[in-house]
Amino acid sequence: MKVLVAVKRVVDYNIRPRIKADGSDVDIAGVKMSINPFDEIAVEEALRLKERGVVTEIVAVTIGTAACQDVLRHALAMGADRVILLESDLELQPLGVAKLLKAVVDKEQPGLVILGKQAIDDDAGQTGQMLSALMNAGQGAFASSITVADGEAVVVREVDGGTETVALQLPAVITADLRLNEPRFVKLPNLMMAKKKSIETIFAADLGVDAAPRLKLLKAAEPAERKAGIKVANVAELVSKLREAGVIG
C-alpha cells in the first residue's frame, strides 16, 4: 500500500513571530523555517507503518514556492521514498490546499493519506478533514494510534474528555496528534543522501484546480500585552491578595 503524507513549511516553533510595520501580515523574511511539527509526526507514522510491513511506499508532498524543497529534503532524510513539490505562488488556505492535495490523490491513488492535525502558523486544523470530504473518504482526525488490517484503518482519536476509536475503510485520511509518536532524529549521512535525491515538481496552475484564497487577510496585530503582576513573599500574602481580588471566598 502507498501512503501519501502532506507536509508544510512553517516558522520554527521556537521563534516568536514579528509583525510587519504596516500591520499587513507576519514578517517571515529571514526567519528560521522548519517542517510543521505535526507533519513530522505524520511522516514518522508512515515510516513505522512501512517498518511494520503495512506500507510499501511513502510519498511526501508539499505545496508552495521552491523554498519548500527543504521540508521535502527533511522528509526524504527521515526515510520517505519519493517527494512531490506542488509549486504555487498563491496565498494558500486550507480549502485550496485540500483541493490541490485531492488532485495529487487522484494521480497517486494512495491507500492512506496522513497529515498533521494543524499547522502551528495558521492554527486552522482543517486541511485533513476537508481533503477527506473531497475524497468522500472516512476521516480519523487527531489520531494517537493507527492500526491497519483487512482493508481498514482503526484509529484512536484524542477527543475532549477521553478517546474515541473509529474504523475507516481504505482509502482514508488521518491527521496526527502529538501523542501519535516521537519522530526520529535525522542523521547527517541521511541528510546528505537526501540532498542528492530528485524532487518531482508539478505546477499547481496546470492542475486546473481553483485554489484561490477565500479569506482576505485584513490585518495582523499583536495581542494586548498582559502586565506582569507582583511577587508575593509567602502563602499567607497570596491568600490575602486573592481575597482582595475577589477570586476566592
By CB under 8 A, the residues from 164 to 183 that bind other proteins are: 164-169, 172, 177-179
Q: Which is nearer to other proteins, 7 or 97 (CB)?
A: 97
CB atoms within 10 A of CB 154: 15
How many chain residues are in contact with other proteins, going by CB under 8 A?
80
Q: How far is the CB of 227 from other proteins (least distance, A)?
A: 8
Q: If you ran DSSP here, which 8-state letter would residue 226 be given?
A: P
Does 234 bind other proteins (CB under 8 A)? Our answer is yes
End-to-end CA distance of the chain: give it in Å, rounded: 61
Q: Using CB under 8 A as the criterion, what x/- string covers residues 35-74 for binding other proteins?
A: ----------------------------------------
- Distance of alpha carbon 99 from the chain centroid: 16
Distance CA 243, CA 249 (A): 7
Q: How many CA atoms lie within 13 A of 100 on its CB side?
A: 27
Q: Using CB under 8 A as the criterion, what x/- string covers residues 123-162 for binding other proteins?
A: xxxxxxxxxxxx-xxxx-xx-x---------x--xxxxxx
Does 189 bind other proteins (CB under 8 A)? Our answer is no
Q: How far is the CB of 9 from other proteins (least distance, A)?
A: 14
Does 238 bind other proteins (CB under 8 A)? Our answer is yes
Q: How far is the CB of 236 from other proteins (least distance, A)?
A: 7
**Element spanning 142, H or E:** strand 138-149
15-34 residues in contact with other proteins (CB under 8 A) are 16-17, 19, 26
Backbone angles phi, psi at 167, to 5 degrees: -115, 130
Q: Which is nearest to 177 in space by CA: 193, 191, 163? A: 163
Strand partners of residue 86: 63, 202
Q: Using CB under 8 A as the criterion, what x/- string covers residues 88-127 for binding other proteins?
A: -----xxx--x------------------xx-xxxxxxxx
Q: How far is the CB of 66 from other proteins (least distance, A)?
A: 24
Distance CA 221, CA 68 (A): 26
3-class DSSP state for residue 208?
A: coil
Does 222 bind other proteins (CB under 8 A)? Our answer is yes
Q: How far is the CB of 51 from other proteins (least distance, A)?
A: 23
